[in-house]
């Protein structure tokens, strides 16, 4: 039986990167693409609750959804595919998703939703440039996908794969780094002299490669390497439990067995 592979993204069904993934992942099984009808970047893990979800078939095993990336995964799993896919690949995103960008990313959120649906999932992104090399990213993604299909993943882990503008061909295991920059508001006047505000990200240099047990994702990209970061569904800050346990004036530390 051919492996069922779900492809999605947040750049929309017309994103050129989809064709590259469809071609390379076809070597592993039977890919089906379920992607938003339009670009849904930075939608994070939002899902549609206040209106019906609609989709249409736009080509052989290609479906466009009037919804978010997470909507696409839910709809694909419960309606379009019928059976649970063996692998989900979200991307290839036009722009990197490292550091705190993973909190905003629809690309990463689709992979997270895949894991919530019990599907091993990979999020793939390439640093933005005028000439993005989707082909190389898709080739390695297929290799990684085969490894996941052969060896599996822990049920609460998402793989976040990022490529630099000019990839040196090597991939490094990394940790999610700190904030790469800050968000600023740019104010200006439009053609009608009406004020408007534009949200913009100001970047700063990386934090120093090799500063921890694992290098930082963004720092690795700056050196020309691709970055593979395992992300965890459990967001509990275990290092905070001990200091918070001293707040006995607020917390009952003996409840539920202490």
Residue 152, burial from CB neighbour count under 10 angstroms (0-12, 13-18, 19+): exposed
Query: pLDDT tens-digit profile of 117-165?
Result: 999 999 999 999 999 999 999 999 999 999 999 999 999 999 999 999 9
Q: Which ranges in 69-216 belong to alpha helices (H)?
A: 69-75, 106-116, 134-151
Query: pLDDT tens-digit profile of 1-54?
Result: 789 999 999 999 999 999 999 999 999 999 999 999 999 988 889 999 999 999
Query: pLDDT tens-digit profile of 48-69?
Result: 999 999 999 999 999 999 999 9
* Residue 212: predicted pLDDT: 55
pLDDT (average), residues 76-84: 93
Domains in the chain and their CATH numbers?
3-176+207-241 (3.40.1210.10)
Res 114 pLDDT > 60: yes
* Residue 198: predicted pLDDT: 53
Residue 175, burial from CB neighbour count under 10 angstroms (0-12, 13-18, 19+): middle
């Amino acid at each position: 039986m051919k492996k069922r592979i779900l492809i999605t993204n947040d750049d929309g069904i017309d994103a050129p990167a989809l064709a590259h993934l469809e071609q390379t992942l076809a070597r592993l099984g039977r890919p089906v693409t379920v992607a938003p009808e339009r670009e849904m970047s930075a939608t994070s893990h939002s899902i549609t609750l206040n209106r019906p979800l609609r989709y249409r078939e736009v080509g052989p095993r290609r479906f466009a959804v009037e919804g978010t990336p997470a909507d696409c995964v839910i709809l694909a799993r419960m309606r379009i595919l019928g059976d649970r896919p063996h692998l989900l690949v979200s991307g290839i995103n036009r722009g990197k998703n490292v550091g705190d960008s993973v909190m905003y990313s629809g690309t990463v959120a689709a992979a997270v939703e895949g894991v919530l649906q019990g599907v091993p999932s990979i999020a793939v992104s390439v640093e933005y440039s005028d000439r993005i090399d989707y082909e190389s990213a898709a080739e390695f993604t297929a290799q990684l996908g085969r490894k996941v299909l052969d060896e599996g993943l822990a049920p609460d882990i998402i793989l976040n794969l990022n490529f630099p503008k000019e990839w040196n061909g090597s991939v490094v295991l990394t940790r999610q780094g700190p904030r790469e920059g800050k968000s600023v508001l740019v104010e200006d006047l439009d053609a009608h002299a009406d004020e408007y505000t534009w949200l913009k990200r100001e970047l700063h240099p990386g934090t120093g490669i090799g500063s921890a047990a694992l290098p930082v994702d963004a720092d690795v990209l700056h050196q020309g390497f691709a970055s593979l970061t395992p992300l965890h569904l459990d967001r509990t800050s275990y290092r905070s439990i001990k200091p918070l346990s001293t707040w006995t004036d607020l917390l009952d530390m003996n409840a539920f067995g202490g």
